[in-house]
């Protein structure tokens, strides 16, 4: 079989060639030393591979003898993966400057429990993840993109990253590019790989914000924090791999089983994350405290009903003593994962080879955040003589009602009547209550994903010039979320209404609720568990008002693909015109089943309902590619070639798309190549974006009409629905979170993108063998982006312009004008095609490797200079927001203008190797202009030493973040993803020490 060679040949051949296409991280393949084999050129493959063998590279389905790519491809080799103690694949890809963080292990609040990759910061949904050149199925019903947890790091042979559109080759979603994980499917023998690592940090006054040291801020509030050395977050990963050939080499099978366990780290385990810092640098927190805080329906006052009836806060909206919710949150989520799988191929005849893949994963992760509470979520009508209150508290409550005959006027802090609330004169006071459930513990999401992936296919030669490949694959991920320690609104309504049963016992006022197990819940007497509900909260009360929530879901993906590839005719003497023509069918299905508590929004700590979802779509596609060598091996033109591609897609939603590419390469001499290309890429809406029911949730930002001195004028606030009486009296959300309605839209059109790349590759040749340098310019423009306009944008545009398109989407709560208290105020922010996103920049790669002294030295650097990276809402004159060089609440994760990763390694012939890695994250400014939140450049040094003790056993020890560099501190109000920092961008918890070993049998 000529075209479809064994994978061992592919592994040795493709990397050598791709190293010349883009050398960054192309290392440690084919041999134990690193980098391109000294003296080779793109026409001479490593390890003695025959020149006439044809292989397939990421970005095309055409097999070709010259493995150089017309598109920029970055390759990360297996040795580079091992040298940084990689057990989480997302940690590896996030270190590349082309990648922005997605879901990581350092996300707890808002975590899906998955790991994702985001090329160029264009979004995880615009990055296509492949495994051995085929799609990896969606990994979560809330985030239907590939979950990198399915990939066993120890079996990864290399990672190929193609940045720029590739939809004509792989179909929708490859807008920003492709990440292709190539597994070692040729392994023979028995091998045990194990890695153990821990984080170590010296809590030594962890930085400051806005000139205020974090420990000074903690001391000022009397908050506890750790001091000195801490070792935690231990990680253990082990994998057993068994491979063998059979039937005289006609077949090969590789099987593996793996186990990984990651320990928890709390935010309270680091001094710099022991409190939530505010914009001034002081420790902030939440107005939902361990002791109940009450406010009137107009949110004109906040007060705490202390047992002696005193007013702990004083009237007004200045909430002192806000609750420090930070320490309870997980900084690193605990995680347990099992993996297993097998890769098989068998040559049935000279023209038929059968192949199959099977992968299994079961991953469980806990996402713990601060305790739940009532969160001022509903109005409660409390009687002044409620037995839950002391006499002094009852008097204080009744003092909020004036002495008029009807006892129905609610008064504000100045004594002015503002509303009739009790026209019957019964002494009932309507209140919103904030009480933190410290008695019940932190909210915990037990997130579980069980994935199965199976591939089966046949491939072979039709003639000497044509071959075929036909395959089918199925992938599914089963999801569950058991959410505990949240409070039930419906049960709180009953439990907070108590009466004396005449025998001195307190019971729920509603006899039906009492008969069904209702227990009085008394939030007014302080924190901690007590025995008598008159004195506070009992364990029985916590058990009654606490309601678990359960969600189950599943994603399914079917792909059937078939194509024919081969040689058509010759224009040049040395290389024929090659082509591919094929067809593909793909179906995507997603279901999410929420129980009553989730679906109705009964869980107080969720911010709104989480409705069930069920939907599917399929797409039928035809595609073709053409590789045309125009001129080869003539003076002044070593090679001039053209690549063409086209794909037509017909979706069951009634949408059709056309994607295409044109790329070319020109080499005047073998050592210099110019390359460039244009891609039209698309992204069709996923099932969630199409069919997700509309429901209430939260968004982070600010209400410019809130506070005593609103940012917007009275006229501008009037545009958003604020009355003259409300202006200056609307309470801001203490947590900077507001309500929004989000949901799907089956009528959205597919996104379209234009991608341009232009670059040059320079090799050292005989003058400087082992040297390769690349420079590539990229420009990606996405139009008709699918998503919400953004609640902050809607609110701002309504206020500034009065445009009814936006103002119709702003719904303020009657009376209070609030957009966060209760569920009556919200912004409507459902999916539609809006504006677009774009990025532009230059990638630079340099690689050099050669024998030196008693070993071999290798150096490589992979850097990205970002010229532009922003989004356009298509709204107003200033609709474009530039995020290159910025970070914050609007732009999200830092997008430095320059970042790089560099590596220097020296491997002695004796079997000892030393490797250093330098990660540089460039500086960024805060996107809101808050200078105190500007971020300086950060540099990290990683080091490892490996020892080949025998041919059968070797081990490596290493340290990442050698100098224990602490992350920058930023308040959540100006943009973070977790724990006062951008945990996905910077090393958030200190240095990582690891040891890994390999035992071969």
Alpha carbon distance, N-terminus to C-terminus of the chain: 31
Task: Output the pLDDT for position 405.
Answer: 38
Where on the phi/psi map is residue 626: left (φ > 0), alpha (ψ -120 to 50), or beta? Answer: beta
Instruction: Please give the Cα distance from 964 to 978 (Å, whole number).
Output: 19
Task: Output the pLDDT for position 25.
Answer: 34
Overall average pLDDT of the 353-381 stretch: 94
Least confident of 66-80, 394-408, 790-804: 394-408
Q: For residues 130 and 161, is the Cβ–Cβ distance under 8 A?
A: no
According to DSSP, the residues that pair with 761 across neighbouring strands are 673, 774
Could you tell me the sign of the dihedral formed by the alpha carbons of 104, 112, 332, 883, in that order? positive
Task: Output the pLDDT for position 166.
Answer: 84
What does the chain come to in residues? Answer: 1001
What are the pLDDT digits (tens) for 182-215? 999 989 999 999 999 999 999 988 889 988 999 9
What are the pLDDT digits (tens) for 14-59? 333 333 333 333 333 222 333 332 222 222 232 333 334 455 667 7
The label of the residue with tokens 């809402």 reads 873
Instruction: Please give the Cα distance from 401 to 866 (Å, whole number).
Output: 61
Q: For residues 449 and 140, is the Cβ–Cβ distance under 8 A?
A: yes
What are the pLDDT digits (tens) for 613-622? 999 999 999 9
Task: Output the pLDDT for position 64.
Answer: 53
What band does 301 get if pLDDT is binned at 50, 70 and 90? low
Find the domain containing 268 and state its range: 7-274+331-370+446-483+552-692+745-790+829-1000
Count of domains observed in the chain: 1
Percentage of the chain beyond pLDDT 70 is 88
* DSSP letters for 651-702: ETTS-EEEEEEEEEEEEEETTEEEEEEEEEEEE---HHHHHPPPEEEEEES-
Share the mean pLDDT of the chain: 87
pLDDT above 60 for 406: no
Tokens of 495: 């439990």
Q: Would you say residue 926 lies in a domain?
A: yes
Q: For residues 582 and 563, is the Cβ–Cβ distance under 8 A?
A: yes
Q: Would you say residue 457 lies in a domain?
A: yes
Torsion angle in degrees (nearest 10) through CA of 682, 685, 686, 689? 150
Q: Would you say residue 409 lies in a domain?
A: no
Q: Would you say residue 610 lies in a domain?
A: yes
- Read off φ and ψ for residue 718, nearest 5 degrees: -60, -35
Q: Would you say residue 379 lies in a domain?
A: no
What are the pLDDT digits (tens) for 764-806? 998 999 999 999 999 999 999 998 888 998 999 999 999 998 9
Q: Would you say residue 318 lies in a domain?
A: no
Task: Output the pLDDT for position 554.
Answer: 97
**This prediction's pTM:** 0.88
pLDDT above 60 for 317: no
Q: For residues 239 and 154, is the Cβ–Cβ distance under 8 A?
A: yes
pLDDT above 80 for 684: yes
CA-wise closest residue to 45 among 22, 67, 69, 78: 67
Q: Return the SS3 of 998.
A: strand
Beta strands in 412-465 (DSSP E): 417-420, 428-434, 442-461
* DSSP letters for 527-566: SSB-SSTTTSB-HHHHHHHB--EEEEEEEEEEEEEEEEEE
Overall average pLDDT of the 455-474 stretch: 96
Q: What does each C-alpha distance from 406 to 409, 431, 848 come to in angstroms?
A: 8, 19, 88
Question: For residue 81, what is the domain's CATH number?
Answer: 2.40.170.20
Q: For residues 410 and 427, is the Cβ–Cβ distance under 8 A?
A: no
Q: For residues 498 and 511, is the Cβ–Cβ distance under 8 A?
A: no
What band does 63 get if pLDDT is binned at 50, 70 and 90? low
CA-wise closest residue to 448 among 98, 87, 149: 149
Which range in 66-80, 169-183, 579-593 is most confidently predicted, on average pLDDT?
Answer: 579-593
What band does 308 get if pLDDT is binned at 50, 70 and 90? low
Q: Would you say residue 814 lies in a domain?
A: no
Residue, of 652 and 732, whose pLDDT is higher = 652
Q: Would you say residue 736 lies in a domain?
A: no
Percentage of the chain beyond pLDDT 90 is 69
Task: Output the pLDDT for position 878.
Answer: 76
């Amino acid at each position: 079989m000529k075209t479809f060679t064994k994978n061992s040949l592919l592994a040795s051949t493709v990397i050598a060639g791709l190293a010349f296409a883009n050398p960054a991280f192309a290392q440690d393949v084919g041999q134990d030393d690193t980098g391109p084999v000294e003296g080779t050129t793109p026409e001479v493959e490593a390890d003695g591979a025959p020149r006439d063998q044809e292989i397939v590279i990421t970005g095309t389905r055409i097999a070709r003898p010259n493995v150089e790519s017309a598109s920029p491809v970055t390759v990360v080799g297996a040795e580079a993966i091992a040298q940084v103690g990689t057990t989480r694949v997302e940690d590896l890809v996030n270190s590349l400057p082309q990648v922005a963080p997605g879901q990581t292990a350092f996300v707890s609040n808002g975590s899906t429990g998955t790991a994702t990759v985001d090329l160029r910061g264009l979004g995880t949904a615009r990055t296509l993840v492949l495994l051995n050149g085929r799609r990896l199925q969606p990994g979560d019903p809330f985030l239907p993109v590939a979950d990198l947890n399915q990939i066993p790091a120890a079996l990864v042979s290399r990672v190929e990253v193609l940045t720029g559109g590739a939809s004509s080759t792989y179909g929708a979603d490859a807008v920003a590019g492709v990440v292709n994980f190539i597994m070692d499917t040729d392994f023979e023998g028995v091998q045990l790989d194990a890695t153990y690592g821990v984080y170590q940090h010296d809590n030594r006054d962890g930085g400051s914000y806005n000139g205020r040291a974090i420990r000074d801020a903690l001391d000022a509030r009397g908050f506890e924090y750790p001091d000195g050395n801490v070792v935690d977050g231990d990680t253990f990963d082990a994998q057993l791999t068994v491979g063998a050939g059979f039937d005289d080499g006609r077949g090969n099978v590789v099987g593996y089983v793996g186990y990984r366990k990651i320990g928890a780290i709390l935010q309270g385990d680091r001094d710099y994350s022991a409190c939530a810092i505010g914009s001034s640098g002081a420790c902030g927190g939440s107005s939902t405290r361990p002791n109940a805080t009450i406010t009137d329906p107009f949110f004109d006052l906040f007060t705490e009903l202390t047992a002696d009836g005193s007013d702990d806060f004083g009237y007004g909206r200045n909430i002192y003593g806000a609750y420090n919710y930070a320490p309870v949150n997980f900084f690193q989520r605990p995680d347990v994962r099992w993996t297993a799988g097998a890769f098989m191929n068998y040559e049935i005849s000279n023209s038929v080879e059968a192949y199959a893949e099977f992968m299994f994963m079961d991953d469980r992760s806990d996402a713990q955040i601060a305790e739940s509470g009532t969160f001022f979520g509903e109005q409660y009508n409390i009687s002044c003589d409620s037995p839950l209150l002391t006499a002094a508290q009852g008097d204080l409550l009744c003092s909020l009602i004036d002495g008029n005959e009807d006892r129905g006027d609610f008064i504000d802090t100045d004594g002015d009547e503002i509303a009739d609330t009790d026209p019957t004169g019964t002494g009932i006071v309507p209140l919103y209550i904030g009480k933190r459930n410290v008695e019940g513990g932190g909210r915990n999401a037990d997130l579980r994903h069980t994935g199965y992936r199976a591939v089966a296919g046949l491939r072979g030669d039709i003639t000497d010039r044509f071959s075929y490949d036909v395959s089918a694959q199925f992938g599914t991920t089963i999801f569950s979320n058991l959410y505990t320690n949240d409070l039930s609104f419906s049960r709180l309504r009953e439990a907070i209404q108590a009466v004396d049963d005449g025998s001195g016992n307190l019971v729920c006022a509603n006899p039906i609720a009492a008969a069904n197990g209702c227990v009085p819940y008394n939030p007014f007497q302080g924190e901690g568990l007590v025995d008598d509900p008159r004195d506070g909260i009992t364990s029985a009360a916590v058990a009654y008002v606490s309601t678990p929530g359960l969600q189950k879901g599943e994603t399914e993906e079917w792909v059937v693909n078939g194509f024919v590839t081969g040689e058509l005719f010759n224009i040049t003497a040395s290389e024929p015109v090659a082509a591919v023509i094929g067809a593909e069918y793909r179906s995507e299905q997603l279901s999410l089943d929420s129980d009553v508590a989730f679906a109705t929004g009964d869980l107080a700590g969720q911010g709104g309902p989480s409705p069930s979802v069920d939907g599917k779509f399929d797409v039928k596609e035809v595609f073709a590619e053409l590789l045309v060598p125009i001129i080869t091996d003539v003076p002044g033109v070593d090679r001039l070639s053209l690549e063409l591609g086209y794909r037509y897609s017909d979706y069951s939603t009634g949408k059709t798309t056309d994607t295409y590419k044109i790329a070319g390469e020109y080499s005047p001499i073998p050592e210099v190549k110019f390359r460039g290309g244009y891609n039209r890429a698309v992204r069709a809406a996923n099932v969630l974006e199409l069919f997700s029911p509309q429901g209430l949730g939260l968004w982070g930002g600010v209400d410019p009409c809130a506070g005593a001195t609103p940012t917007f004028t009275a006229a501008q606030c009037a545009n958003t629905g604020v009355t003259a009486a409300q202006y200056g009296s609307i309470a801001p959300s203490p947590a900077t979170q507001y309500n929004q309605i989000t949901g799907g839209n089956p009528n959205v059109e597919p996104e379209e993108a234009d991608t341009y790349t232009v670059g040059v590759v320079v090799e050292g040749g005989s003058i400087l063998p082992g040297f390769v340098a690349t420079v590539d310019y990229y420009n990606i423009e996405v139009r008709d982006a699918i998503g919400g306009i953004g609640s902050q944008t809607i609110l701002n545009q309504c206020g500034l312009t009065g445009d009814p398109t936006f103002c119709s989407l702003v719904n303020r709560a009657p009376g209070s004008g609030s957009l966060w208290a209760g569920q009556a105020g919200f912004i409507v922010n459902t999916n539609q095609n809006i504006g677009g996103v774009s990025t532009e920049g230059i990638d630079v790669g340099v690689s050099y490797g050669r024998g030196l002294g008693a070993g071999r030295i290798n150096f490589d650097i992979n850097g990205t200079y970002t010229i532009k990276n922003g989004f356009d809402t298509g709204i107003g004159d200033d609709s474009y927001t530039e995020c290159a060089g910025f970070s914050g609440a609007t732009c999200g994760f830092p997008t430095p203008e320059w970042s790089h990763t560099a590596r220097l390694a020296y491997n002695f012939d004796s079997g000892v190797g030393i490797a250093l890695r330098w990660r540089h994250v460039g500086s960024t400014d805060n996107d809101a202009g808050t200078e105190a939140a500007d971020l300086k450049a950060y540099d990290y040094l990683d080091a490892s030493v490996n020892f080949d003790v025998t041919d059968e056993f070797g081990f490596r020890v290493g340290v990442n973040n050698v100098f224990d560099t602490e992350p920058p501190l930023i308040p959540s109000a100006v943009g973070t993803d977790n724990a006062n920092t951008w945990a996905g961008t910077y090393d958030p918890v200190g240095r990582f020490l690891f040891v890994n070993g390999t035992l071969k049998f």
